[in-house]
Structure formats: structure tokens, C-alpha cells
Amino acid sequence: MIAAFSLISMLTGGILLYRSSLKIIRLYFYVSFACLIGRCLYEGSYQYYLLLVPLLIMLVLIHQLLKTQFSDYVENIARRIQYERASQADPLTGLANRRYMDAFMEKLLPISKRSNQEFQVSMIDIDHFKKYNDTHGHIKGDELLINLSHLIKRRIRSGDLFVRYGGEEFTLILAGCDQDSAKELFEEIMVDIKEELGVSISVGLSSSHRSNDFYQLLELADDALYSSKQNGRDCITFA
């Protein structure tokens, strides 16, 4: 009777622990079974020995169930991580997307303000990309976007953020960087792109000193990019 009551209590506790940490659930069941089996062995009567058989069978079944639950739990975590990454990344280039950029800037802006560190927001556009697509086809156009993404990523630091903004437009946020350093970096990148990919880019830059609002900085950089295109492309313009 005591053993039966203990078993019911253990199963009730297991239900209450459902969705808790699987390690805690495993520990709870194993300790509970150990106590019950120990009680059976201690009593030493025929009835308690008979109870050992279903207890051991149940222990094996619950062990297998927890293994399956753990496997499903791990798979669910992996799927959730993949989904979160996919929702924050551009599917073609693997770069961060605008959703990730928004989250990044929420962290960068207050840090930059507290430390009085300048950062640069840039808009980048591949010159004559539509013509390139029409001439070489969309597959080659996609390859160009991927190769350009890889090339620029090789040049930037781990603390910078490179985003595919849309189509052939990209955004590069350079943390802890002044305009002279940004200009020097882009000049090197532009040379590499011409030599390795055979195309050119236009760049618009705005400094964090211009505004405390990120979207205004983005708009200023976009206006500067438009000026670069109006001035013959293949150049850098500061807002």
C-alpha cells in the first residue's frame, strides 16, 4: 500500500514537472524509483518482491520515454535556432537582413553615445547592376551579389555589420570609425571589387555626429549614395 501510494505520488509529481528541465525530470524519476526499489528490498516480503518487477519495467519504459523527449527537445531547440537565424539573414548572401540591423542598432546607439564613439553608416550600390543582369543572366547576377558580399566581409572587422538592404543595395555600419578611416577602407574595397569582380560600386556615407536617429542617418547615407550616382558613379560621397 505504501509503495502504491509512493508510486502514485511520484507519477503526480512527474506530471507537475512536465515541461521543466529534462535533467530535473530524469533526476526526480530515478531518485523516486531508487527509493521505491530500496524500500522493496528492505522489507524483504514476498509482496514487495513481486512489486519489483513492474517497478523495473516502468523504470525502463520511463527511461526510454525521457530519451525520446530529450531528443525531441534538442531537435526543437535546433529548429528554433535555425528559424531565428533564417529570419535575420538574407537567404541568398547569408548577410544580416534589415530586421537584424534594427536589433543591432538598438544596442550600438546607446553604447556609442555613452562612450562618445563615432560610427559610420554607409549605403552601397552595384553600378549598372540591371545591365549586368540583362547581359549575363540572373544566375550570374546572383553570383555577383554573393561574391561581392564575401569580398567585403573579408575587409571588415567582426564588430562591423554588413547588411543586404535589398536588391543590389547593401548597408555597412562601421563601429568606432571616423570618416577618414571609412573613406580609406572603401577605396581599398572598390579597388578589390574592380580587380576581382570587374564591376564598380557607388557609396554614400553619413557619420553618427550628424544625428542621434539611426533612420535619419540611413536616409542621409541614401541621399549621399544618390549624389554618387549623379556624379558619375564609382565614387564615395559624404552626407
* Mean pLDDT for the stretch of residues 93-116: 87
Taking CB atoms within 8 Å and a gap of at least 24, the contacts of 182-185 are 182/120, 182/122, 183/236, 183/238, 185/155, 185/156
Grid coordinates representing 195 are 580587380
Sheet strand arrangement including 161-166: 161-166, 169-174, 120-126, 201-207, 236-238
Q: Tell me, what DSSP letter sits at residue 88?
A: T
For residues 203 and 228, is the Cβ–Cβ distance under 8 A? yes
| Residues 39-56 pLDDT 10s | 666 666 666 666 666 767
For residues 36 and 3, is the Cβ–Cβ distance under 8 A? yes
Residue 206's pLDDT is what?
A: 96
- What CATH number should be reported for the domain whose range is 98-238? 3.30.70.270
Higher pLDDT, 176 or 186: 186
| Among 43, 106, 118, 168, the one annotated catalytic | 168
Report whether pLDDT(16) > 80.
no
- Residue 105 to residues 56, 108, 120, 177, 222, Cα–Cα distance (Å): 57, 5, 12, 15, 17
What are the residue ranges spanned by the domains of the chain? 2-87, 98-238
For this structure, is 118 an active site residue? no
